[in-house]
Structure 1
Amino acid sequence: MGHHNHHFAGDRHALSGVWSPPTSSANFCEEDYAVTRYFAEFINTLTNLAYVLFALQYMYGPGSRGLLSPKTDFMSVSLLVLGIASFLFHATLRHGFQFGDELAMLGLVWSILQGSLVVRRSSVYDRFVNICLATVFPLFGAFYVWTGKIIYHVIGFAIAIGLIILRGIYLFYLRKPAFPQDKVAEWRVRGRIALILMGVAYILWNIDLEFCAELRKLREDIGLPWAWLLEFHGWWHILTAMSAARVMDIVREVRKRVKEDTEE
């Protein structure tokens, strides 16, 4: 069963944590409060720091204006927000933070989709895209929270990922005039790597959901600390953070290239 219909509130320590009892509808294969009473899912909580790390890497990378004046854009902020929101959710397993995590996931793909669409010269086109996205995504997020059905979140997230992929196909294969071939070839390779990372993350995410009993038995046999390597939802966080950061870098480079071409 998936996390939307299989709850692990019966774990040995589930009712002894600071944030007990779990109230979220989503609860993953990591045993609740097995490591510390302060984090409901220890590994699933800490691996969210990958999102924060990649966000800060951009914010304080080349072009940063100092500790109090980081370089930010919609994508880096959305990555940072997701890391914090998912950290709080997995640390507490409270239903309110679950919505925060899931809405932050939508915000992340929203930011990447917006960044990949708004790369043309037409300011009218840019405004139209921004208005559409600024209308559709908040309304969809509100609809999801109102229904509380995870399937709508999955559908919305998948549609956004699909649109990002289609946009990439247009930019790197169909766009006229085309970008320089050396840059397109590089972006294609990096884009494929990002897709592979996302694909592997999705596979591990599903294994964590569907084969929880088997994974828990294997972890028990292996023992700590090596058993932590089999906390596959934690790998979902790390690999999706790596994938998102790579896609964001490509989007920024495409936008920069279009801007340079416009100014020539």
Structure 2
Amino acid sequence: MSETMASSFWGPVTSSTEWCEKNYTHSSYIAEYYNTISNIPCILLALIGLINAMRQRFEKRFSVLHISNMILSVGSMLFHATLRHVQQQGDETPMVWEMLLYIYVLYSPDWHYRSTMPTFLFLYGAGFAIVHALVRFGIVFKLHYIGLCLLCIPRMYKYYIHTIDIAARRLAKLYVATISLGSLCWLLDRLFCRQLTNWYIYPQGHAWWHVLMGFNSYFANTFLMFCRAQQLEWNPKVVRLFGVFPYVKIKKPKKQ
């Protein structure tokens, strides 16, 4: 296989962002091979979370949250496979929608006006999608996304300090560890692209970002499911599949 394929199925790059991985090195149908396939673990983890949420009849918000993780991963696959502008929007718009969902899940239990929050978040998400379809954002999108992420941190910290269960607190720590390590991989890949591509084996920093963020989303969702189950007095417990993989098991009162 040559270092770069002579032709590409998708044509020239039209996205506003192109990552460090060399294009079309493995297939004429996939622009960034490792950045594309690294989304597969994210989809599988979200599917596991969705099955658990549906099987135990958690609130629908958690099923929607897991589905949004899957949609985001599929959008990311299409973007990195094509490097086209339309597919870039299919990656970035779900990123914003997903963070709006997290804001709803985090803040809605204590929100007294039940209809105002989902209505506002829906209109905000729809408005962003329309504007994003008309305007190419660069650094503005990244700053906007970081701002939405920062809005979630105080609430996550509040849930953490009010959680006594050791296994649940460990999920929160894994959430912090994966997002920290993933962000480091993302930054190193962006800042030292030229140097890293000259290594004998390119470390695929952005692909590792995808994998780590897949685990990060799973740990975040599982921790939030535990906290919400506690609020509803469903007697949650973090158990491990095959002694390794954590998930939340609940025992609802008979009246529910």
TM-score (norm 1): 0.79
State the alpha-carbon separation in 2 of the partners of residues 159 and 139 from structure 1.
17
Pair 1:73–1:231, CA change in 2 (3 A): same
Q: Which amino acid in 1 is paired with 2:144?
A: G
Aligned length: 231
What stretches of structure 1 of length at least 5 have no aligned partner?
1-11, 66-70, 174-178
Question: Which is further off, 16-25 or 164-173?
Answer: 164-173
Q: Return closer, same or farther for 1:115/1:151 CA change in 2, 3 Å cut-off.
A: same
Structure holding more helix per residue:
1
Secondary structure at the counterpart of residue 115 of structure 2:
helix
Alpha-carbon distance, 1:214 to partner: 1.0
Aligned-pair CA distance for 1:186: 4.2
Asked if the contact 1:14–1:20 (Cα under 8 Å) also holds between the matched residues in 2, the reply is no
Displacement of 1:153 in angstroms is 1.6
Query: Superposition pairs for residues 154-165 of structure 1, below 5 Å?
Result: 154-165=142-153
Mapped partners of 1:172, 1:195: distance in 2: 11
| Unpaired runs of at least 5, structure 2 | 235-252
Match of 1:171 among 155, 159, 177: 159
Q: State the alpha-carbon separation in 2 of the partners of residues 141 and 98 from structure 1.
A: 12
CA contact (8 A) 2:16 2:136 kept: no
CA–CA separation in structure 2 for the residues paired with 1:208 and 1:118: 36
Name 1:246's counterpart in structure 2. 219
Q: Counterpart of 1:8?
A: none
The counterpart of 1:47, out of the listed 25, 33, 38, is 38
Question: Contact 2:10 / 2:82 at 8 angstroms: preserved in 1?
Answer: yes
Q: Are residue 20 (structure 1) and residue 2 (structure 2) matched?
A: no
CA contact (8 A) 1:86 1:101 kept: yes
1:38 is aligned, of 14, 29, 45, to: 29
1:212 paired to 2:185: no
Using the TM superposition, give the Cα deviation of residue 52 of structure 1 relative to its aligned residue in structure 2, in angstroms.
0.7
Moved more, 92-101 or 203-212: 203-212
With 147-156 and 86-95 compared, the bigger mean Cα shift is at 147-156
The within-5 A match list for 1:1-264 is: 13=4, 16-61=7-52, 63-64=54-55, 73-120=63-110, 124-173=112-161, 179=162, 182-183=164-165, 185-218=166-199, 221-222=200-201, 227=202, 230-260=203-233
